[in-house]
């Protein structure tokens, strides 16, 4: 019984640290200008190597979500929230903190267009 509780606690902590679940949902107001940007897919592909290190298409990456095929709106909102430190996750805050609006749009366009990404 104790082993099950410890395992469940470990899983909950991993999910919370990954930024997938929040104890308090926060409304994220992404600037309209950012949402309206048209991302350069080729530039997004160039920028995506760091992302692909952790975000695997097959979902086997220790609780890190698969982001290929996600909508541009979802990806832009997530990257903006990490960049502005609204969503908690030190690694993602550091990665997104380096991105300009144009780079966020490019990455979002690239990952949205990935349908059959093979590792």
Report pLDDT digits (tens) over 23-70.
346 788 899 999 999 999 999 999 999 999 899 877 666 788 889 899
Q: Helices marked H in the chain — which ranges? A: 2-18, 32-35, 41-47, 49-54, 72-83, 90-97, 101-112
Fold annotation for 2-112: Cytochrome Bc1 Complex; Chain D, domain 2 (1.10.760)
Query: What pTM was computed for the model?
Result: 0.74
* Helix (H/G/I), strand (E/B), else coil: 32: helix
pLDDT of residue 14: 42
Nearest to 50 by CA among 107, 117, 112, 116: 107
Rounded to whole angstroms, the Cα distance separating 7 from 19 reads 19
How high is the mean pLDDT of the chain?
80
pLDDT of residue 74: 95
**Is the pLDDT reported for residue 84 higher than 60?**
yes
119 compared with 23, residue with greater pLDDT: 119
How would DSSP label each residue in 35-65?
A: HT----HHHHHHHTHHHHHH--TTS-STTPP
Poorest-confidence range of 7-16, 41-50, 85-94? 7-16
């Amino acid at each position: 019984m104790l082993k099950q509780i410890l395992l469940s606690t470990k899983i909950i902590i991993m999910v919370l640290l990954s930024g997938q679940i929040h104890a308090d949902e926060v409304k994220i107001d992404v600037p309209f200008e950012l949402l309206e940007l048209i991302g350069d897919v080729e530039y997004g592909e160039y920028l995506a190597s760091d992302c692909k290190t952790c975000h695997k298409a097959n979902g086997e990456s220790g609780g890190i979500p698969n982001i290929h095929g996600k909508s541009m709106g979802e990806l832009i909102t997530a990257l903006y929230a990490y960049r502005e430190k609204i969503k908690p996750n030190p690694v993602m805050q550091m990665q997104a903190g380096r991105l300009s609006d144009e780079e966020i749009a490019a990455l979002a366009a690239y990952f949205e267009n990935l349908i059959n990404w093979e590792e």
